[in-house]
Structure 1
Amino acid sequence: MELNGARVLVAGATGVLGGAITTELADRGARVALAGRAGSRLAHAARTRPGTPTVSFDAYAPESCARAVREVAAAWGGLDAVVVAFGSVAFGLAAEVGDKVAEHLMAVNHLAPAAFFRAALGILRPGSAIAAVTGVVAERPQPRMADYSASKAALTAWLDAVRREARGAGITVLEIRPTHLDTGFAERPVTGTTPRLPEGGDPRQVAVGVADALEADAELLRSGPDGGPVVERRAR
């Protein structure tokens, strides 16, 4: 897709990775709308990007996710891409995490992105795209992260199925699957203690890769052996 002039909604734009993606897309000429939780961070994002549309949503309320898509599409007369870059993490033994936390992770990491995309798929035209951040745990689940890994793997499975549905409509489904990034995300778990993690990658590199992948109509962005982003036209 051509990013210059494209209308893109970034959900999670107030986060480190979402903010980096927003900046990169805007630098390439995209018209970007910012979606995040209502509060000071969304207000700050609006102040730092004057004239940029903002919309709030609650990741625990799927209807608010769909409403965010509809509001931006109505204001702009359509959308060309929806990028989801938010999530929630928890650490601990599976027997100790608890059902409420497991339900929360599945709601935020799988059901909320799916709600954004369900609304978008009813609006997007051929040549458009949806994109979501999953993570390497979706393909390599980790101990003490069982429910977090499962929630991201569920989103990967959903994207894989929808990708095959959307190809015939000319809509690209991009999965963004980086290794651990230096965003502070892992230091804010819903429960548990953050384990020792490898040095995090640069979210700005991933943001560049996301923009490159969207321009190439790619289906997968993963981390290479050196940690840098690798764009793959077809998901495996």
Structure 2
Amino acid sequence: MSNDAPVRYKVAEAARLAGVSPSTLRLWESQGLVVPGRSDTGHRQYSADDVARLQRISWYRVERGLNPAAIREALESEDPTDSPEGSAVSDIGRRLRSLRHAAGKTLDQVAGDMHITSSTLSTLERTSQGVSFKTLHDLAEYYGTTVSRLSGEERDDVSAVVRAGEWRTWPETTPGVTVQLLAEGRIMMDCHRFVLAPGAASEGAYRHDGEEFMHILSGRLELVLDSDQFFDLGPGDSLYFESRRYHSWRNRHDGETILIWINTPPTF
């Protein structure tokens, strides 16, 4: 019987194939040059693509004498996306990378401005994953855009009717936060269905222009406005507030919390 599961290499195996020591791989990971997957038990696992990337990193370091920042830029130039062309998963990361290049910024510069690590930003640009909801919002604001635009909501080829269960979904940039689109196109409202896993949170407060409305369908959500107003919202509850107020949120339910969330104008 054939086995089509992708090959995964442990640290020692990947290091041997790349011609470096295991400690060097850990150093490159801390520098944001490569981000391996993890097993269920938390151990690093390198794919065949990761090993090929490690070999390129080693070549740039030894043959070209590049520092980590220059190696990252060189890898991006030769490999602009790690996902298939047109993949929805890579769209947000690809757009963020294009915006950074247009601004003439390096990974280290933007990461420093955002107070996040270069490895976190590199992972986001390559996979559209790995940051908090607040960080994603702050990055969009930094580049003068919105999360909704980064997610490709302003398309022209959309239907006025969205059937139940046929919602298009944002890439899951934040673990446990699923955002489904209830309306798309060049419209005056962001209309979303949020599905929050237990414990999912914004991981910080953010604000933007506009007004917001939310209606809880199931579960329980804690929303905090201006750091001192706490709202415990359950099924059937609604809340309306000005988006310029700092707001943060967390699923306080031991199961999923599902809510309808609308922003107007579309400034998130």
TM-score, normalised relative to structure 2: 0.26
Higher relative contact order (CA 8 A, sep 6+): 1
The structure that is strand-richer by fraction is 2
